[in-house]
Amino acid sequence: MSRMHGYVLERGARLTEVLKQRQFNPMPIEEQVVVVYAATKGYLDKVSTSDITAAEAAILKHVDPAIYKVLRAKQKITPELTAHLHAQLSSVPLPGQ
């Protein structure tokens, strides 16, 4: 198996974990957007799949509530929001790092 193939499989496993939600307790859409954004942009690449739930909690706790408010209002990720997300996600203390 090539490195790239392994990388894609590992990221896919993390994304699968990110998409899981507790039954009858769905995550608000703006929180889902932030967590999926973090996973697809590589912020969770060094987190083991068993620590994804803890990483999600750390992200949701650390990210400025204003980001969620902007996501709710604009319903899209703007270039300005991308910059704010990068700054916020880069400083989140994640499990295993």
Domain boundaries, the chain: 3-90
Say what the pLDDT of residue 1 is: 61
Q: Residue 36: count other Cβ atoms within 10 Å of its Cβ.
A: 13
Architecture of the 3-90 domain: Up-down Bundle (1.20)
Per-residue pLDDT of the chain (97 residues; tens, 9 = 90+): 677 677 777 887 888 888 887 788 888 999 999 999 999 999 999 999 999 999 999 999 999 999 999 999 999 999 999 999 999 999 999 887 7
| Helix, strand, or coil (residue 96) | coil
Model-level pTM? 0.86
Question: How far is Cα 64 from Cα 20, in angstroms, rounded to an integer?
Answer: 23
Say what the pLDDT of residue 16 is: 82
The dihedral sign for the CA sequence 4, 5, 8, 11:
negative
